[in-house]
Amino acid sequence: MIGSDNDAMGVAILAWLALVALLGLGNTVGYHRLLTHRAFVAKPVVRGAFTLLGAVTGGSPVLWVGLHRLHHARSDGEGDPHSPREDGFAWAHAGWLIGVRSPVVVAIFALSGFGQQGMIALHDLRRVLGRNPPTWRELCGDLMREPLMRALDTPGVMPALFVAQVALAWAVGGGWGVLWLWGVHVYLTNSSWAVNSVCHWPAFGRQPRATGDDSRDVPWMALFTLGESWHNAHHRHPRSARHGLDGGFDPSWRVIQGLCAAGWAEKPWLPKEPGLPSRVPPEPVSRSAP
């Protein structure tokens, strides 16, 4: 019996790690590098798969991409939705999602696991009531041409996806299954938010490239963020498919390389910097492009 319990625990841990990695790549490779910055071109089925993986915890891809493009356009300036420069670390981490600057309240929200899903549901309710017009769509004209993106941005779709997750977790593992799912959401939401907070906070990392904002490379976070914490390099070259430009650990870039090698993706964009391969742009890009 003890051996059986240990085996079940081991399977649960391995499944949790695998799901965290897979859904994390949906955020980093899918929502961020593919959809937001068009860092490479993927076959439709791959594009769709990474989009759906990102949607499990990230909400509407159109909203996510619109907010992130706004962040790059106004990084650490007026209009940046989550800069810590004026509003503090807690605001940049998750306070901006709930309109709160109190570190204690933000910490409770961050540890709630499912708090972001509650805010997504509230956001959709406000849209239905006409109190939250979808202005983010103005920054996502490219995505709005795709039926899948429009469907996932429909009010109620993301909350329904979350309810389905909880129902499946309960069906498989009861209360322990829901707790397992809670751990997935806690980890993935906070690792994503930490790029906004830790990687824009002067106490952490370094800033080897001039960007005009407070973005920083934070090497120790690379594992937890799947390479997203090379944030200063990213802000210097937003469209780069590779963030660890100085050889830093960047598993998301390795996945993109693998997709290209398998013929499932192509045209990864890389910047012109000493010691790096020449860039291969899918189309002409200006410095101000998102």
pLDDT in tens, 160-212: 999 999 999 999 999 999 999 999 999 999 999 999 999 999 999 999 999 99
Q: What are phi and psi of 167, to 5 degrees?
A: -65, -40
Does residue 283 form part of some domain?
A: no
Domain housing 88: 2-266
What pLDDT does 9 receive?
A: 83
Write the pLDDT tens digit of every residue in 54-70.
999 999 999 999 999 99
Distance, in Å, from the CA atom of 183 to the CA atom of 284, rounded to the nearest integer, reads: 42
Q: Are 248 and 222 in contact (CB under 8 A)?
A: yes
Q: What are phi and psi of 71, to 5 degrees?
A: -60, -45
Does residue 92 form part of some domain?
A: yes
pLDDT beyond 90 at 238: yes
Number of domain units in the chain:
1
**126 pLDDT band (50/70/90 cuts)?**
very high
- Mean pLDDT (the chain) is 92
Does residue 276 form part of some domain?
A: no
CA 37-57-213 angle, to 5 degrees, is 40
**10 pLDDT band (50/70/90 cuts)?**
confident
Question: The tokens 């910047």 sit on which residue?
Answer: 271
The residue that leads in pLDDT, 282 or 169, is 169
Does residue 172 form part of some domain?
A: yes
Does residue 146 form part of some domain?
A: yes
Q: Are 103 and 91 in contact (CB under 8 A)?
A: no
**137 pLDDT band (50/70/90 cuts)?**
confident
Does residue 280 form part of some domain?
A: no
Write the pLDDT tens digit of every residue in 198-207.
999 999 999 9
Q: Are 189 and 116 in contact (CB under 8 A)?
A: yes
Which residues, 6 or more positions from 165, have their beta carbon under 8 angstroms from its beta carbon? 56, 181
Does residue 274 form part of some domain?
A: no
Residue type, 131: R
What pLDDT does 131 receive?
A: 87
Does residue 79 form part of some domain?
A: yes
